[in-house]
Amino acid sequence: RDGDPGSIPMWELRVEGRLFEDCAPNQLDLPPSQLSNSQTMAARSKRKFSTFFKSLVIELDKDIYGPDNHLVEWHRSPHTSETDGFQVKRPGDRDVTCTILLSLDHQPMKYKLQSNLAKLLGIALETRPRVIEALWQYVRSHNLQDPKAKDYINCDDMLEKIFQTKKMRFMEIPQRVQGLLSMPDPIVIRHVIRRTDSEKPVTSCYDVDVDLDDPLRTSMSQFINSMGNTTDIHNLDMKLYDLAEQVSEWKQRVDYYKRFSEDPREFLIRWQQSQEADLKNMLTHGEGRGMKNPFPDQPPQAVERYLQPDMQEGAFRYFYNRICRLRKELEMGINAKSYIC
């Protein structure tokens, strides 16, 4: 717009915004600077415009303003004062093309997914925990969890293409996913600042999707942004995996002795058959590698003679005599102590 006669023509660009729910339907096209006083006071209780962004860059025509004066930048810092809008003034008497770059301040932080991963999960922008959750849902729905080793995932063609492996442990997913996430692209608005002699501003409206406050946003943000937690969680996952291996081993031992206590004879028969099958398998495969059978003349069922009734009777007599001998020694020891007293 032109000022007083003889003054340098100036133009002014304002970047403002508000939520749709903060104004009446018939006032959606009005910028915040044109609201009434009561409406402005009501809007002050809401979030300010700058709280939705972490940076704003306005790039003016370099041919007009030169390489040193064509950029206007604002970046969020710990001491940033929030504002309802941004204002830029420059001298000029003709239309100016500018590019406005807005980077949303996602809380908690959202990331842009690698193209193949985004295609697989059907999401392009999401938080890291949600990406891992969506990936786990994909694994469950496609039955990719290993039936024997539950903490392993058998990758299908899509997952193998993304992670470059055929099999991986579930605890490896967070670290592997991290390499497939990047910072989201800024919102790009191309705008033409038009010269006008009228005092009435020329307004252009653009719709931008933003994230609203969540009651758990603060705690989630602190947890997710803490890089130390990632290492701690990984170490705890490793400890859980080791404990699960120990529990599995102990369970096998309990089952082993439980079967033995329920039916010792049947257990020993099955154990002997299993050992015999293993020995036969070793000898069969070992002969081709130069191994020799140490018992070439021994019949495979020679152990059956130890399971005859007379052998069982002999074992009972042995244990009975052994118990009687120990009982006699114990009684003699007790009598000797009584005599000394």
Q: Mind listing the pLDDT tens digit for each residue in 41-89?
A: 444 457 788 989 999 999 999 988 988 888 999 999 888 888 889 999 9
64 vs 245: CA distance, rounded Å:
70
pLDDT for 34 equals 53
CATH class of the domain comprising 110-182: mainly alpha
pLDDT band of residue 19 (cuts 50, 70, 90) is confident
57 vs 72: CA distance, rounded Å:
6
pLDDT for 43 equals 46
238 vs 175: CA distance, rounded Å:
14
pLDDT for 38 equals 46
Write out the two tokens for 57. Answer: 């860059």
Q: Between these two residues, 322 and 229, which has the higher pLDDT value?
A: 322
pLDDT for 265 equals 86
Which range, of 234-248, 291-305, 309-323, averages the lowest pLDDT?
Answer: 291-305
Write out the two tokens for 127. Answer: 């938080």
pLDDT band of residue 200 (cuts 50, 70, 90) is confident
Tell whether the model's pLDDT for residue 182 goes beyond 90: yes
pLDDT for 145 equals 92
Residue 29, phi then psi, degrees to nearest 5: -85, -5
pLDDT for 57 equals 95
Kindly provide the b/e burial profile for residues 150-184, where b requires at least 16 CB atoms within 10 angstroms of the residue's own CB.
Answer: ebebbbeeebeebbeeeebebebbbeebeebbeeb
pLDDT for 107 equals 82
Nearest CA-CA partner of 196 in 272, 96, 331:
96
Nearest CA-CA partner of 165 in 147, 230, 175, 237:
175
Nearest CA-CA partner of 122 in 105, 137, 109, 107:
137
207 vs 225: CA distance, rounded Å:
29
pLDDT for 319 equals 85
pLDDT in tens, 98-127: 999 999 998 889 999 999 999 999 999 999
Tell whether the model's pLDDT for residue 93 goes beyond 60: yes
What value does the mean pLDDT of the chain take? Answer: 81
Q: Between these two residues, 245 and 7, which has the higher pLDDT value?
A: 245
Tell whether the model's pLDDT for residue 217 goes beyond 70: no
pLDDT in tens, 257-273: 888 888 888 888 888 88
pLDDT for 162 equals 94
Which 3-state string (H, E, C) describes the chain?
CCCCCCCCCEEEEEEECCCHHHCCHHHCCCCHHHCCHHHHHHHHCCCCHHHHEEEEEEECCHHHHCCCCCEEEEECCCCCCCCCEEEEEEECCCCEEEEEEEEECCCCCEEEECHHHHHHHCCCEEEHHHHHHHHHHHHHHCCCECCCCCCEEECCHHHHHHHCCCEEEHHHHHHHHHCCEECCCCEEEEEEECCCCCCCCCCCCCCCCCCCCCCCHHHHHHHHHCHHHHHHHHHHHHHHHHHHHHHHHHHHHHHHHHHHHHCHHHHHHHHHHHHHHHHHHHHHHHHHHCCCCCCCCCCCCHHHHHHCHHHHHHHHHHHHHHHHHHHHHHHHHHHHHHHHC
pLDDT band of residue 222 (cuts 50, 70, 90) is low
pTM listed for this prediction: 0.56
Write out the two tokens for 303. Answer: 């152990």
Q: Between these two residues, 124 and 277, which has the higher pLDDT value?
A: 124
Q: Between these two residues, 222 and 23, which has the higher pLDDT value?
A: 222
In the predicted model, what is the mean pLDDT of residues 10-32? 70
Domain ranges for the chain, please list them. Answer: 10-91+196-210, 110-182
Angle, CA 194 vertex, CA 36 and CA 31 arms, to 5°: 20
